């Protein structure tokens, strides 16, 4: 595991539509590893390649994270905001935030009514709506706040990635920077192989949390014959999520192969075969169409076999998502093995 690269990636701000800091980290890392940089397009996708064969494979994961965005500054200097992606409003009060301005970072906190007072009101058991929240940046007037921030500035929750035990880690934005990490490490390993029959593109896709514009643009431009998209799925071993509904998915038991209309059956069979042949741990679950970039890649490519591979994730869309290093390793191993098979004619 390259924990330094992963930590740098997780710490980089990348609210949907504002992913430049994170894509630069991926670009610098892969170029340092000798992987060819192909392009950055107008929606911010960063694409890389290995091999020069005629069969085109696209590996992708979305690099954007859920966030917030400055909407209004009131007369007292408080900052009001909207969601940038599917933010869980229930976990926002009490958070520290960073507002990313043209001049640098402005720190702030999302406050709430003290529980001493709230307990005696009708709101004591109710979630606060985003429209009723505000950020305190220490400004005393609107004029003072306007000198520091601007309407439209993106906002991220402040946190430091945490090691949990021996194999697990927590933080914000694991959805889906862990997928980007897998993509980058696969590309790094493929660089050292003699791939004569395939050309593999690795893409850090933007804007999945808001529009999937990144995946649509990348797939349209690259037009792959095979696509493997990495995203997170719900771990169901913490009693918060039902395995009856979402599958029996555990942290640390391997990457998850998704079955459904967005995953080509030939590719799911291939992935299971390479896992069983090479003794790579894996899990399986079923999922309906949509919810990830995979469906958009399928619809935006001329004729492509698509596959969704998933990383088990606890507490999704909070600032304390949890993943397991062993699941990332299994996805890297199975992807490299599958690409070797495709290069050799399956």
Catalytically active residues, by annotation = 208
- H/E stretch holding 293 reads helix 293-300
Cα–Cα distance, 49 to 22 (Å, whole number): 18
Handedness of CA 283, 289, 290, 293 (dihedral sign): positive
End-to-end CA distance of the chain: 28
* CB 128 within 8 Å of CB 85: no
Token pair 């098979």: residue: 341
What is the token pair recorded at 185?
A: 């490490």
DSSP state of 314: B
Buried b (16+ CB within 10 A) or exposed e, 249-276: bbbbbbbbbbebebbbeebbebbeebbe
Burial 28-49 (b: 16+ CB within 10 A, else e): ebbeebebbebebbebbbbbbb
Per 3-state DSSP, what percentage of the chain is helix, strand, and coil (rounded to 5)? 30, 30, 40
Give the single-character DSSP code of 125: T
Task: Say how far apart CA 262 and CA 305 lie, in whole Å.
Answer: 9
Kindly state the tokens that stand for 32.
């340092």
């Amino acid at each position: 595991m390259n924990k330094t690269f992963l930590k740098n990636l997780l710490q980089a701000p990348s609210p949907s539509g504002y992913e430049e800091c994170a894509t630069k980290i991926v670009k610098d890392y892969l170029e340092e590893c000798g992987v060819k940089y192909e392009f950055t397009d107008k929606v911010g996708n960063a694409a890389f390649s290995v091999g020069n064969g005629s069969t085109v494979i696209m590996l992708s994961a979305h690099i954007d994270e859920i966030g917030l965005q400055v909407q209004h500054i009131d007369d007292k200097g408080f900052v009001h905001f909207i969601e940038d992606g599917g933010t869980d409003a229930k976990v926002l009060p009490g958070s520290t935030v960073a507002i990313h301005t043209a001049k640098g970072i402005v720190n702030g906190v999302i406050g709430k009514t003290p529980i001493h007072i709230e307990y005696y009101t009708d709101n004591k058991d109710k979630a606060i709506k985003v429209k009723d929240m505000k950020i305190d940046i220490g400004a005393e007037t609107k004029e003072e706040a306007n000198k520091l921030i601007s309407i439209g500035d993106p906002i991220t929750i402040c946190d430091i990635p945490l090691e949990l035990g021996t194999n697990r880690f927590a933080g914000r934005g694991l959805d889906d920077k862990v997928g980007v990490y897998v993509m980058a490490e696969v590309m790094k390993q493929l660089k050292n192989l003699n791939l004569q029959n395939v050309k593999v593109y690795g893409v850090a896709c933007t804007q999945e949390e808001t529009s999937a514009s990144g995946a649509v643009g990348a797939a349209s431009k690259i037009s792959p014959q095979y696509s493997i998209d990495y995203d997170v799925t719900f771990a169901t071993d913490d009693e918060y999520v039902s395995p009856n509904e979402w599958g029996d998915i555990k942290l640390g038991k391997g990457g998850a192969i998704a079955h459904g209309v967005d995953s080509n059956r030939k590719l799911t069979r291939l992935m299971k075969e390479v896992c069983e042949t090479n003794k790579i741990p894996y899990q399986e679950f079923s999922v309906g169409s949509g919810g990830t970039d995979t469906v958009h890649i399928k619809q935006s490519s001329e004729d492509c076999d698509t596959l969704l591979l998933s990383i088990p994730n606890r507490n999704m869309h909070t600032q304390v998502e949890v993943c397991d290093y062993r699941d990332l390793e299994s996805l890297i191993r199975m992807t490299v093995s599958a690409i070797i098979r495709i290069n050799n004619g399956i």
